Structure 1
């Protein structure tokens, strides 16, 4: 834990902690709240993006566990624990579900070890690894997950941190190639959109002052992550419009679910 604490930088705002602040969490610092408030001034609706992304996660995991019988989840770019984390949603449907979380943020890991406790019937593990280290992730996750059986790969708001387009597509493809038929990809991504110009300004502010830097992509570019897979209805849409229980305002966070 001492090693983890030494890696936590409280002098600069950090994405996971700002996300936590926007969703009402307490695992953040004054520097994160200051940056979060400044970004919200530039784009007042930004806080709703974090909530929409979390609700999208819940709906997608519940659908996969209930309707598709998925019992294994590989969640890369976990973020700070919040309400209805992947294992909580999955194990509420299927207590024997197995979940492996992957993140390289020291604060996320510190809280994950303390808070993300699964059911006795299932299993929940955590890996300290970067999305780019595909082989390392797969080797370590194989100690918990059976890759001969379907797995749901969760990539919510994480490929935005891979600046190079081709590298980001290759990483997703390599991960999906390692999974069995019947596996699913759940992915969300911040977009640049002509109807939401203030988002671009907020992202520019973040990239100047915060860490790590993020890359926006167009909805069409986000759709490309699902190439070669069977994209489920309603396709790649604003996260708030992916099978919502009630209608909600669109956000500049797009997502989709696809089957291998």
Structure 2
């Protein structure tokens, strides 16, 4: 006889998670709907463990990559089919001449870092082609909306595990990248930092562990401007995909390219 918890999980998979893949499969064994489930997944999933080994120990970016751009994962899988990534790719089109210097890396829970080199590919220990995950279990609003238990202890433990793997990557690539940018949700629409701003917290902790600085954007004043001009819903709904956020990123990348690629001040 199925437990109430397993029945609820199966229901969430069938009604929500399964529908988030665009021509790809969302694997039920890679779905987690509470902080405790995410934590257990991080401890038990061989696929996640294998990926951590690849990113932390074996994979190195091409030496041409000088600007690391960390960008949040999306609800829709694969990422590049989402509104957020389509907005990002439009922004990056402007830098076609210098695109090879920019290294786009997705920041994700529970997999940590997923470099663009792997988008749409599969190999030994990974599949970023047609098998994906759905892990909303670290977001307090989502968990409570569905009447599930939100235990902050497991939120913090999960963030720590992922951050340690991100820190490994930052440390081993510290002599490759000249600029490191994380363009993630930094503030809520009420202009506060929240415990479940997971990407921001992962990067902050990874930077502290590794001793490698990462510029975390967008700044509070930009979020405030978007909210005051367009309303809280604009930031809540679009986040870093908002046109004004993308314009900020475009200008920041433009200055970074001038500084580290063209050696202009």
Above 0.5 in TM-score?
A: no
Q: Using structure 1 for the length normalisation, give the TM-score.
A: 0.34
Larger Rg: 2
Higher helix share: 2
Q: Using structure 2 for the length normalisation, give the TM-score.
A: 0.33
Work out which structure has the larger RCO, using CA pairs closer than 8 Å and 6 or more positions apart in sequence: 2
